[in-house]
Structure 1
Amino acid sequence: MKILLVEDDELLGDGIQAGLEQAGFTVDWARDGSAAAHALDTGAYQAAVLDLGLPRLSGMDVLRRARATGLQLPILILTARDALADRVAGLDAGADDYVVKPFELAELQARRNRSLSGVLLAA
């Protein structure tokens, strides 16, 4: 299963990528919004983990663009933006789930049946 990880923080991205790969997933890592939009346009992904605070193109713009083009893959927002308005805006824009940083990898794994219909982190 192929997942797109969109995260500009090198340390966090390394950890998430390693955790997902240990769980048996193939992970492509985009480090800015423009690269993420291009990857979603050209790659065949089963799910995406998307940060909102990205260089070049915001995560919300990536999400809105993906949904406007009809892309139906599960998208989990993973961000430090923890205000209720941010969470509601992300879900209203088409995210399947919203996780606030800091987090534990186990929290992502616990969401496997709920937010991403078992696609993202089913072990």
Structure 2
Amino acid sequence: MTVTVATKKAVIERDGGFCLMALPGCLGEAQTAHHRANRGSGGSTVLDDPANLCAVCVPCNGAAEDATSLLRMDLIERGLRVEKAATNAATLERSKATPVEYLDGERFYLVSATVRRHISEGRPD
């Protein structure tokens, strides 16, 4: 699986069209899909699953990869960064089990490229 243009567009729409990171220098409008568990550090295409993607702007996407320890912890707490597990499959399951905090403070599980589920509804199976 690879992240197609259609998947990126669907993820951006699912996430309201806004950059969920809102870091310094943020453009506000999402332009791409960010891997919450980074594929660039030896990850496989398993991590291209939409449950591991969130909408961000290009500057925030780059800043997330260069994050210092404090910023990294903030991103983890907000569910925008997911630490690697022992396997890529386990990392994807960790992403699915980690809700994302949206700009209004609400938390959602990312189910698919088009569906998110509020934490009050419980974890998706």
TM-score bucket of the superposed structures, by smaller chain = 0.3 to 0.5
Q: Which has the higher strand share?
A: 1
